[in-house]
Amino acid sequence: MKHTKIIELLKSTNLPAGQAGFDKEVTVNGWVRSRRGGKSVAFIAVNDGSTIHTIQVVADIAKFGEENLKEVTTGACISATGKLVKSQGQGQAVEIQAEKISVLGAANPETYPLQKKGHSLEFLRDIAHLRPRTNTFGAILRLRNHISFAIHKFFNDRGYFYIHTPIITGSDAEGAGEMFHVTNFDLEKIPRTPEGKIDFEKDFFGKQTNLTVSGQLESELGAMGIGLAYTFGPTFRAENSNTPRHLAEFWMIEPEMAFHDINDNMDVAESMLKFVISYVLELCKDDLSFLCEHYDKELLNRLNIVVNATFKRITYTEAIDLLEKSGKKFEFPVSWGIDMQREHETFLVEHFNVPVIVTNYPKDIKAFYMKQNNDGKTVRGMDVLFPYVGEIIGGSQREEIYDKLYQRMKEMNIPEKELWWYLETRKFGTCPHSGFGLGLERLVLFITGMTNVRDVIPFPRTPKNAEF
């Protein structure tokens, strides 16, 4: 269908009247956001998703006949052809003087749920199939796209290779046991062994499998051959955390880099985050301004602060010290060895007023693969803590010494049978390497100023919710 995107039509605004773009016949296809006017003219605001802005289609009612315009109501999909002219009215620079309007899909005003402006975000979650048609969600979807693209661009420009790691796996990369099973057993008739255990040998893959919680381990295998690898895919966690920051299905970006130590790792994480935020600040001005104006007046400010900040780097021990000396009464008491809670992370970020990277965590609260320090107590892990969202990245230098890794796996009951291949990279041509995982939704949350991850992924999966 020949038509011009609204984003292109609105660019004609910059041209003087009578010049290219103006007085040309154009066709616009899109959804009616509103219809105003009286008996003689109808002003129809149309949006096609290419931009947050609408274009005004002006229809002479006498010319079309009232009857022929009766289905031009909020929510209907129309195709309008006419001359693009300088607008007579206030609020827009150009408009279309309609010659022809066809309704591609009507939307009964009695039942169309998006009638008025200003629906709550909670209400929109229940109609996630229609929320892409709102200004807010349109802005979020466009931003999410540009953020994803900027991430690929950051890595591609620096010689990283995108590696597609498996979604179905037999291992538990984080060792936390929060996995969704994958099976094609008839659940009413699960085969059992003579001992009464589930007979996974009879299952589709001949072994127990699950949806991956992280692409890291396979991303590491890539890095040990192509040097700089990253994976960007969906990950799944059956953790029953009903919080505004947790999803059961979320997208993770996991670079894995040979010949990078923990400091190099922090450098990459910091420059990637700044690159992505600068990229959308430049490219997505209209969408960001809309979100700033309607949801969070501090949004643009916060984004600029992060782009210009030098992230504060402190050790876990220093962080605990600070928390203890703060004199603040935390809900979760602070002592060396605790897994920091949201309130502790918030304190640290507010204290320094820039993103904070915490390193050298106690080994007992971190995964088996992290590089062990010589003190026997800590590992070379790193968490990047952001204002507003808390932990946005988790990563580490990896343990590259076979014996140390093997011993840690034994201590933590990580089944060698499932990870023999991971161990082999340490047996053959091992090297120092590092990597991290960025939670895409946490970054989109930060950039859009939304307060719930359910509002930054098209169709959220959370406990008791897998609609759409």
Q: For residue 391, state whether it binds ligand 4AD (rule: CB under 6 A).
A: yes
**Separation between Cα atoms, residue 168 and residue 95, nearest integer Å:** 51
CB of 234 closer than 8 Å to CB of 249: yes
Q: For residue 394, state whether it binds Mg ion (rule: CB under 5 A).
A: yes
The nearest distance, CB 248 to ligand 4AD, in angstroms, is 7
The nearest distance, CB 435 to ligand 4AD, in angstroms, is 5
Looking at the chain, the number of H-run helices and the number of E-run strands are 13, 16
**Separation between Cα atoms, residue 468 and residue 463, nearest integer Å:** 14
Q: Could you give the string, one character per residue 171-210, with x where binding to ligand 4AD holds by CB under 6 A and - elsewhere?
A: --xx------------------------------------
Among 172, 345, 441, 455, binds ligand 4AD (CB under 6 A): 441
Beta bridge partners of 181: 210
**Helix, strand, or coil here: 75?**
coil
Query: Which among 91-99, 242-250, 357-365, 421-429 is the span making contact with ligand 4AD, rule CB under 6 A?
Result: 242-250
Helix ranges restricted to H, 296-341: 299-308, 316-325
Q: For residue 237, state whether it binds ligand 4AD (rule: CB under 6 A).
A: yes
Q: For residue 236, state whether it binds ligand 4AD (rule: CB under 6 A).
A: no
**Helix, strand, or coil here: 243?**
coil
Among 51, 216, 265, 448, binds ligand 4AD (CB under 6 A): 216
CB of 207 closer than 8 Å to CB of 200: yes
- Assigned token pair, 42: 């109808």
Instruction: Give the one entry of Mg ion, ligand 4AD, none that residue 437 binds, where binding means its C-beta sits below a cut-off of 5 to 8 angstroms depending on kind.
Output: ligand 4AD
Residue number closest to Mg ion, CB atom: 394
**Helix, strand, or coil here: 351?**
helix
The nearest distance, CB 222 to ligand 4AD, in angstroms, is 12
Residues 6+ apart with CB under 8 A from 53: 6, 7, 10, 47, 286
Residue 42: its H or E element: strand 41-47
**Separation between Cα atoms, residue 179 and residue 235, nearest integer Å:** 10
**Separation between Cα atoms, residue 200 and residue 146, nearest integer Å:** 42
Instruction: Give the one entry of Mg ion, ligand 4AD, none that residue 276 binds, where binding means its C-beta sits below a cut-off of 5 to 8 angstroms depending on kind.
Output: none
**Separation between Cα atoms, residue 403 and residue 171, nearest integer Å:** 20
The nearest distance, CB 1 to ligand 4AD, in angstroms, is 39
Return the residues of window 297-336 that contact ligand 4AD according to CB under 6 A: none
Q: How many amino acids of this chain bind ligand 4AD (CB under 6 A)?
A: 23
Angle at 179 between CA 178 and CA 181, to 5 degrees: 150
- Assigned token pair, 229: 């690898």
Among 170, 355, 387, 435, binds ligand 4AD (CB under 6 A): 435
Question: DSSP assignment, residue 371?
Answer: P
The nearest distance, CB 148 to ligand 4AD, in angstroms, is 15
Nearer to Mg ion by C-beta: 442 or 454?
442
CB of 105 closer than 8 Å to CB of 76: yes
- Identity of the residue numbered 65: G
Where would I find the beta strands (DSSP E) of 156-260? 161-162, 168-169, 181-182, 209-211, 228-236, 249-258
Q: For residue 460, state whether it binds ligand 4AD (rule: CB under 6 A).
A: no
Nearer to ligand 4AD by C-beta: 339 or 467?
339
Among 57, 182, 252, 306, binds ligand 4AD (CB under 6 A): 252
Nearer to ligand 4AD by C-beta: 48 or 256?
256
Query: Which among 237-245, 298-306, 388-396, 458-466 is the span making contact with Mg ion, rule CB under 5 A?
Result: 388-396
Nearer to ligand 4AD by C-beta: 419 or 453?
453
Nearer to ligand 4AD by C-beta: 94 or 273?
273
Q: Residues interacting with ligand 4AD, by CB under 6 A?
A: 173-174, 214, 216, 237, 239, 246-247, 250, 252, 254, 391-395, 435-437, 439, 441-442, 453
Q: Residues interacting with Mg ion, by CB under 5 A?
A: 394
